[in-house]
Amino acid sequence: MRDRLVVLLAVLCFSLFALSQTAEELVNKNIAAKGGMDKIQTIKSLRIRGKAVFPGGFVATTGQENMRPNLVRETFLLQGMTAVQAYDGSTGWQIQPFGGKKDPQLMGEDDLRDLLMDSDFDGPLVNYKEKGNTVEYLGHDIVDGDDALRLKVTLKNGDIIYYYLDPDTYLEIRKETQEFIRASVKETASEMGSYKPVNGVMFPFSIASGPKNDPSSWQTITIEKLEANVPLESSDFAVPVSLKKEEAKKP
């Protein structure tokens, strides 16, 4: 009986402490936990290489390059074919050989939603007000049996991201995304771990993600190499010349 009372009091104290914190305070603690704003802003570019393991055991090589302020290029290599998605700050384009499309194509608005999130170099919490995002603190929650602090981030475009922070480190351990596409809602989730410092900033080196309601279909990405401030050019993300010519021919 006494042990149960101690546990109950501990949970109550944690809940009261958690509720006493504000969204702004938690965002600031998250930024500090990652290394602080100054360290974060010294990173101008990123190159990430990893392995993605899917249900059934097949493995793909993944790559991502980011450059400030909002350029991104992602690659997916499997069975000798490479899919590419890129955003040059204004236009998204892709090459999808797995769908029989080996020539570059422009991305539609719906396909571009996920890539635009990835193009936000520092993520939606850093300078969230300037980006037009709003943040709410929803209180205490549980992730895989562990305590977590839940933040709701409403993006400028109306999409919503729920972040779950470790109450000890204030780093993200889970993310749930709701994208409102036409008359439907696309819900995905990610769980992050194995944080390591790169140039003084903490990054997750293990990310499992997929449909929120079907964890059995999730992919797990293990980061093998993450480099900061690598030499990149805006031309690395630009729409291919061949695609520009094809678009110019259209009436």
Q: What pLDDT score was predicted for residue 7? A: 43
Confidence grade of residue 1 (pLDDT, cut at 50, 70, 90): low
Backbone φ and ψ of 70, nearest 5°: -155, 40
Q: How many structural domains is the chain composed of?
A: 1
Is 7 within the bounds of a domain?
Answer: no
Q: What pLDDT score was predicted for residue 6? A: 46
CA nearest to 164, candidates 188, 131, 140: 140
The CA distance from 24 to 153, in Å, is 12
Per-residue pLDDT at 10 exceeds 60: no
Is 243 within the bounds of a domain?
Answer: yes
Is 12 within the bounds of a domain?
Answer: no
Using omega within 30 degrees of 0 as the cis cutoff, is the peptide bond preceding 167 cis?
Answer: no
User: Which positions ≥6 away from 53 have C-beta within 8 Å?
Assistant: 59, 219, 220, 221, 222
Structural domain that includes position 240: 23-249
Long-range contacts of 154-159 (CB under 8 A, 24+ apart): 155/117, 155/124, 155/131, 156/131, 156/132, 159/113, 159/117
CB atoms within 10 A of CB 121: 19
Per-residue pLDDT at 247 exceeds 90: no
Is 3 within the bounds of a domain?
Answer: no
Average pLDDT over residues 171-194: 96
Q: Which two tokens stand for residue 180?
A: 């409102």
Is 17 within the bounds of a domain?
Answer: no
The pLDDT tens digits for 212-245 are 999 999 999 999 999 999 999 999 999 999 888 7
DSSP of 182-236, one letter per residue? TTEEEEEEEEEEEEEEETTEEEEEEEEEEETT-GGG-EEEEEEEEEES----GGG
Is 13 within the bounds of a domain?
Answer: no
Confidence grade of residue 112 (pLDDT, cut at 50, 70, 90): very high
Is 86 within the bounds of a domain?
Answer: yes
The CA distance from 245 to 251, in Å, is 12
**Residue 202 contacts residue 35 (beta carbons within 8 Å):** yes
We report the CATH number of the domain holding residue 77 as 2.50.20.10
Is 123 within the bounds of a domain?
Answer: yes
Per-residue pLDDT at 251 exceeds 80: no
